[in-house]
Structure 1
């Protein structure tokens, strides 16, 4: 099947946390025989911060972020067997949400793929005129990369025929153990962009822990933190390219995951960082959120903290030997249960089942 996929960016992770997810999913679907064309706008300086060149497992069309540019690529939806509009493209989102589905063939499978369901659902609740309210009834599926039962119930309550979480996962060919690098050494590291609904939790879980352990070293990577006041034992290194993520995760004693406010409130929303860190064999400390046990077991595969004091206590008590044991256990669990090969098989089965249903319905 041919897939027309309209998303933020496949080529760049710059201010684009969904890049790892897109790459893992589409690479696996390519191995299953799907041919994907990924349409991404030339916006937000992403093309100047590419992590990868156009891959052999997807065709990438970069279009101008103009009305003419978006109109041109929307027309190409008519050639696809599966049409996907992802959330958070960043430009012309409402136009794309309605336009690509209107141009899809009558027999095409139509999907809205939400990579930030809490944010999208908040928009739907606040705006009765949101384009998705009109688009949802005509879609075959809503896929979400997290959220669990609360998100499924909310989407189906808004009129979606079927909402299915397709969770983040690990691509072991991309994220795996590598030798440590001195530039990334620390007792605790955190990687994430500075966002309004994340900043307070970074203060609570990361900066507070650093202040409690002035003799230990802390490292923060990501965009936007350069103007943030921080304790003297915290280093900020700016944007960390995908190709550097393995070393970022293997070099410190432990890595911290901090969910955004909305993700933590909904639960069942492991970030890509969870799987990247586990895939590299890092010892992961995470804030607590409902549904974590679906992915990693507390105490043996991940350490869980409810505030900065508990993060600091974990770091203070952690030995290199225990950190290695937790990291090894996490990697084994993720490789067993949470790879993109598993997620791809799930999507493949859904699409083939839907195509078969269409064929049955078309029979006299």
Structure 2
């Protein structure tokens, strides 16, 4: 296939999880023999923080605005499939342009499905509007479970399919070395995640002054009262993620409120940490049991006491190894690329059948 992807960012992982998701997926998709053009809006906050300006697995091009995007009309028109991602600047206008121009299958890849649906419910059409959803042949959703039925029945998607994040095992693997932290957390600051981070990391750090903790990620307010045994790393590029996880006895997963409400929304950080055989302590949401088995592949925690008990466990290595085994069997980028290919072919065949029926 020749595909065009219009995504938030491929070039910069600063402050977003989209770049690492796209990198793993598209690298594996290209390995299946497909040709990929990634179009990224050239914005200053990513331009100044690029850590992958020239990917080997696809062609990466930048555009300044909607008018500049029009110079890629031939590529979009001739592609077998065009995928528009969530949080693309002026995403509704981009979608309208794609639907007017594209000759192949069109798909929306929502890496933020619960956030998207919450925005639609309050009339916030920042990057997707209800009117555009039925126009996409395929809705690829970060979230599975009941949300897929909602997208089809309520919003009129012809085909809503789960396409979870994934991990590249070549980039995320155990590196050995000394353990630096008893519990780590990797994530950009989010107001709705912060209370959980307080409960599941900061309070345990206060209660266990002889243990070491770390929080890595940008945009945390200056007025947070970090305990002295909590290290801070402002930004950690993907090239350093595996070393970060490998230096952690446990790592923490904290989920945004909209994603907890929807359930079935595994973060890419879950798969990346597990691929490094780092045992995970996670907050609780519907569907997490379909990803990892609680107690043997992951530790679920609702309060500070649960985290303290987890840190004191002696079977950390076994939990990490079991989670790694699950991820390598079910959630690698190669597996996800195969799913993407199947979904695009299914949508393309359905569209062709509809067109033939209409013509008849």
TM-score (norm 2): 0.92
Which residue in 2 is equivalent to 1:189?
184
Q: In 2, are the aligned partners of 1:201 and 1:261 still within 8 Å (CA)?
A: no
**5+ long unaligned stretches in structure 1:** none
Does the residue aligned with 2:225 lie in a helix, a strand or coil?
coil
Which residue in 1 is equivalent to 2:97?
99
Q: In 2, are the aligned partners of 1:212 and 1:309 still within 8 Å (CA)?
A: no
Q: Do structure 1's residue 354 and structure 2's residue 347 form an aligned pair? A: yes
Q: 1:265, CA displacement in angstroms?
A: 1.6
Deviation readout 1:88-140 (Å, 9 max, x if unpaired): 12x222211222222212xx101111010111111211118775212112111
Q: Do structure 1's residue 338 and structure 2's residue 334 form an aligned pair? A: no
Which residue in 1 is equivalent to 2:4?
4
Choose from 165, 168, 171 the match for 1:168.
165
* Cα distance in 1 between the residues matched to 2:251 and 2:307: 11
* Cα distance in 2 between the residues matched to 1:299 and 1:362: 52
* Cα distance in 2 between the residues matched to 1:129 and 1:58: 30
Q: 1:67 to 1:355 in 2, by over 3 A?
A: closer
* Cα distance in 2 between the residues matched to 1:72 and 1:309: 57
Q: 1:53, CA displacement in angstroms?
A: 3.7
Q: How many residues align?
A: 354
* Cα distance in 1 between the residues matched to 2:73 and 2:48: 24
How is 1:1-364 mapped onto 2 (pairs within 5 angstroms)?
1-64=1-64, 66-73=65-72, 76-89=75-88, 91-105=89-103, 108-127=104-123, 132-145=129-142, 147-156=143-152, 157-180=154-177, 185-225=180-220, 227=222, 228-315=224-311, 317-319=312-314, 322-360=315-353, 361-362=355-356
Does the residue aligned with 2:29 lie in a helix, a strand or coil?
helix
Does the residue aligned with 2:94 lie in a helix, a strand or coil?
helix
Q: 1:200, CA displacement in angstroms?
A: 2.0
* Cα distance in 2 between the residues matched to 1:44 and 1:187: 36
Deviation readout 1:220-257 (Å, 9 max, x if unpaired): 00001261221221111110000000010010211111
Q: In 2, are the aligned partners of 1:223 and 1:238 still within 8 Å (CA)?
A: yes
Deviation readout 1:248-291 (Å, 9 max, x if unpaired): 00102111111111111211111010000000111111111111
Does the residue aligned with 2:147 lie in a helix, a strand or coil?
helix
Deviation readout 1:41-97 (Å, 9 max, x if unpaired): 122521322222422211101222x343344446642131101111012x2222112
RMSD across aligned C-alpha pairs, in angstroms? 2.0
TM-score (norm 1): 0.91
* Cα distance in 2 between the residues matched to 1:318 and 1:47: 44
* Cα distance in 1 between the residues matched to 2:327 and 2:125: 41
Q: In 1, are the aligned partners of 2:133 and 2:157 still within 8 Å (CA)?
A: yes
